[in-house]
Amino acid sequence: MRHLFKLSLVSLLILGAIFQPLVKAEENRVIDDSSTDPNTMVITTSRFESNTVDLPSHVTLITQDEIARIAATNLSQVLRRVPGLQVSYTNGKTSVSMRGISAEQASSNVLVLVDGQRLNKTDLASPDLDTINIIDIERIEIIQGAASSLYGDQAVAGVINIITKSGNRQSNIIRYSQGRFDSRQAAANLAFELDEQWSLILKGDKKTSDNYREHNELDNNQLGAELHYQDSQQQWRFSYRSRNETQQTPGALLETDLADRRQSRPEFAKDYVSTDESFSRLFGQLELNSNWQFAIDLNHQEADIDSVNSFINFATTNVNQTHRTQSSIYPRVQGQWQLGQGVVRWISGIDYDESEYAFSLLARSNQQTMESLYSQLYWPLSKQTTLEIAGRLAEVEDDLIDAALYPDGVVLKNSATAYDLGLSHEFSHVLDGYIRYSNNYRFAKVDEQAYTSETVLGLEPQKGRSIEAGITSQFETSSLQASVYQLKLEDEIFFDPSATPPAGAFFPGANVNGAESTRLGLMLDYRLLIEEDELGVTYHWVDANSEPADDTVPGVSKNTITTWYDWQVAQDVSWYLEAHYRGERYQEGDTSNSLAKVDGYTLWNSALYWRLDNARIGLRVDNLLDKEYIDYAQFNGYYPAKGRDFVVTFDLVF
């Protein structure tokens, strides 16, 4: 291990030794209004299970009941309702951006986790949200805003953590669904109680679809298992999941092609992506005594990908091979002790990540090591006010080879720091407020480091500063979350089409450290209960601009609104109607704002959900009015989104 990792381990042990005996924390904040169960645990805000949300930030919690009532079959249907999130659909895949970050940059600035395991890759590939089986989700926790102190690299705009069902929280469910575009899914999630402490969960998922576009067929197969142990002092989880997927990719269309939006241009006739991927995780959490907790994550994922990737007016049949491995170890401790004015809580840990990457087309490979030490402290200044202080020190080393730019190899080293300072205040039993200042960062990915101008030897870490303030109010029949934020990024890492390309480049431009950019935003989330029905409205306004010309950040809509009505028609039947608006924006990569804008659109979606003893029947229709719209466009290449889509689901729960 390198010196930082050793120093971190020693520091962790010393800090743990000098703290006084602790007691359990008491609940002191209202969980987000989307939660109706006071016993719901939250992990993402501290990396330990807790029934409080202490983090001074806009935190959203989506429960499995909410997912079921809208008859959701994929994550994009769920996440479109969350303020601050913009969902894009490209080549049959979903990407999610936050807080004025473009879809093109989302995979580098929005951290996506499944049970704490990173889905983000060391290259620019997006986290594959569409592979997550919706029936396996217990809840979704979202930190809106910088979380670099707690999670490190790529948590610039926020964190989405998908928590799956486990142990005694698990129920058996078998699903079959069928929909338009010859879409079918058969999935099962089965739990077996071996004894009072041990349980076994088996998971399977088979999904096929022609999708909306021609030459966009999908065949996805997943198998998984989890062994779970829990007693009064500890819990352990060992999980394994494998995925095999083949998808044809229809590519972009030119504006002149949009008369037939479902077509695929001839040059993409041989394009596809075939993925073999596996994920394994060992997680343990122990009560060391009545005052201390220890947790550890051991993660490993491996992927082999074959693909053919053509461009508009440039067809190829060359099969490119990509290989990725990512391994990590995340030990951490938590302690708590009682003061007269409240409970002090301290979390500290080490994150150590190693990854390997190889891409055959460019004879590109990289070995990356990332290590960091972080700490988070909640200190009650009074019975109503809590101070949050957090910080992280991180180092990264890339051992990079690229046939064009670094044929003999190069070692690139960088370091970065992050810190948070926040205050939470309880104004009354129904109103909380907070204010928070954060420094954040991200390191350049391998694709970015290997495609820079010839005079640039490695990109500097992107650095950011954010400040936000907000309130959470929860009454008997209504709730409101409101927040304002400013996110400033320095040395922002992005692809600049006007930059000098590296030698032997396939296309103009290069990855750069850009000038400062600023995002100023407002988020609102309002829910009103009318007897057993719910009316909801979420709104996000963001003004995103880059220096020095004050250009608008491409790919970002200034206004996004979602409103819905969830009607309990009868005791076992509910009906859901939703309208989603996304405003116009510049095309991805159009940093000079010189290309035509992408039009805004409004979608109407609806769902019917019926509980009948152990059976659940759902009917969901997306894009009711068959609106023609573009979800993603880059350099005048357009990716039409789905027309009217419907799916019927049948679940057996026992």
Sign for the CA dihedral angle at 120, 126, 128, 134 comes to: positive
- Decide if 371 contacts 353 (C-beta within 8 A): yes
| DSSP per-residue letters across 548-588 | TTTEEPTT--SEEEEEEEEEEEETTEEEEEEEEEE--BPPB
Chain-centre distance of CA 217, in angstroms?
Answer: 25
Residue range 9-15: average pLDDT?
A: 38
Reduced to 3 DSSP states, what percent helix, strand and coil does the chain have, rounded to the nearest 5? Answer: 10, 55, 35
pLDDT at res. 548: 82
pLDDT of residue 49: 84
Domain spans of the chain? Answer: 20-653
Mean pLDDT, to the nearest integer, of 570-589?
96
Q: Within a 10 A sphere around the Cβ of 7, how many other Cβ atoms?
A: 15
Rounded CA separation 162/279 (Å): 15
* pLDDT > 90? residue 4: no
Query: What average pLDDT does the segment 56-75 reach?
Result: 93
Alpha-carbon gap, residue 240 to 245, rounded angstroms: 17
Q: Which residues contact 18 (CB under 8 A, 6 or more apart)?
A: none
The closest of 11, 38, 10, 13 to 474, measured between CA atoms, is 38
pLDDT in tens, 327-342: 999 999 999 999 989 9
CA distances, 560 to each of 82, 143, 508, 543, 638 (Å): 10, 18, 33, 12, 21
Tell the CATH superfamily of the 20-653 domain.
TonB-dependent receptor, beta-barrel domain (2.40.170.20)
Token code pair at residue 505: 């480049």
pLDDT value at residue 168: 62
Beta strands per DSSP E along 99-197 = 110-114, 117-118, 137-144, 158-164, 173-179, 183-193
pLDDT of residue 169: 59
Lowest model confidence (mean pLDDT) among 95-99, 201-205, 294-298, 429-433: 95-99
pLDDT of the residue at 566: 98
Q: What is the mean pLDDT of residues 75-82?
A: 93
Greater pLDDT, 4 or 249:
249
Give pLDDT, residue 40: 63
Of 11-15, 128-132, 475-479, 503-507, which range is least confident? Answer: 11-15
Is it the case that residue 394 has pLDDT exceeding 90? Answer: yes
d(Cα 568, Cα 458) in Å, to the nearest integer? 57
- Look at residue 93 and tell me whether its pLDDT is greater than 90: no
Q: How far apart are CA 441 and CA 152, in angstroms?
A: 8
**Phi, psi (deg, nearest 5) at residue 168:** -75, -5
The first and second tokens of residue 354, run together, are 């190693």
What per-residue confidence (pLDDT) applies to 51?
74
pLDDT for 46 equals 87
Q: What is the mean pLDDT of residues 189-214?
A: 94
Phi, psi dihedral angles at 278 (to 5 degrees)? -140, 150
504 pLDDT tier (thresholds 50, 70, 90): confident
Task: Provide the pLDDT for residue 459.
Answer: 96
DSSP class of 251: -
Question: Residue 5: pLDDT above 70?
Answer: no
- Helix, strand or coil for residue 446? helix
Among residues 598, 414, 413, 592, the alpha carbon closest in space to that of 495 is found at 592
Nearest one of 280, 85, 258, 369 to 639, comparing CA atoms: 258
pLDDT at 50: 80
Contacts of 11 (CB under 8 A, 6+ apart): 373
Q: What Å distances lie between residue 178 and 321, 421, 576, CA to CA?
A: 33, 49, 19
Residue 296, pLDDT score? 97
Q: Percent of the chain at pLDDT above 90?
A: 82
Which range among 169-178, 374-383, 594-603 shows the weakest confidence by mean pLDDT? 169-178
Distance CA 11, CA 371 (A): 14
Q: Is 411 helix (H, G, I), strand (E, B) or coil?
A: strand
pLDDT of residue 28: 32
Structure tokens at 539: 């709104």
Q: Residue for token digits 């959203």?
A: 60
Q: What is the average per-residue pLDDT within 237-264?
A: 96
Tell whether the model's pLDDT for residue 76 goes beyond 60.
Answer: yes
State how beta strands 158-164 and 637-640 pair.
Answer: unpaired
| pTM tops 0.85, yes or no | yes
pLDDT digits (tens, 9 = 90+) for 25-50: 333 323 333 333 445 678 888 898 88
Could you give the CA distance from residue 351 to residue 290 in angstroms, rounded to a whole number?
Answer: 25
Average pLDDT over residues 54-58: 89
The closest of 489, 436, 434, 500 to 460, measured between CA atoms, is 489
Phi, psi of 545 (to 5 degrees): -135, 150
CA distances from 420 to 150, 390, 423, 467, 619 (A): 9, 5, 10, 10, 44
Say whether pLDDT at 15 is over 90: no
d(CA 614, CA 192): 18
Strands (E) located in 231-291: 234-248, 272-287
Give the pLDDT mean for 167-183. 88
More confident position, 428 or 2: 428
Q: In the predicted model, is pLDDT for residue 90 greater than 50?
A: yes
Least confident of 167-176, 412-421, 628-637: 167-176
The pairs formed by 61-66 with CB atoms below 8 angstroms and a separation of 24 or more are 61/31, 61/32, 61/34, 61/35, 61/139, 61/140, 61/141, 61/142, 62/34, 62/139, 62/140, 62/141, 62/142, 63/34, 63/35, 63/36, 63/37, 63/139, 64/137, 64/138, 64/139, 64/165, 65/36, 66/34
Per-residue model confidence as pLDDT tens digits over 135-144: 999 999 999 9
Location of structure tokens 């990855």:
511
Q: Average pLDDT, stretch 183-209?
A: 95
Q: Edge to edge, what strands does the sheet with 58-63 contain?
A: 58-63, 137-144, 158-164, 110-114, 117-118
Task: Give the chain's mean pLDDT.
Answer: 91
Share of the chain above pLDDT 70, in %: 93
Q: What letter represents residue 314's amino acid?
A: F
- If one compares 549 and 377, the residue with the highest pLDDT of the two is 377
Locate 585 and state its tokens.
């924006």
Cα–Cα distance, 520 to 514 (Å, whole number) = 18
Give residue 52's pLDDT: 73
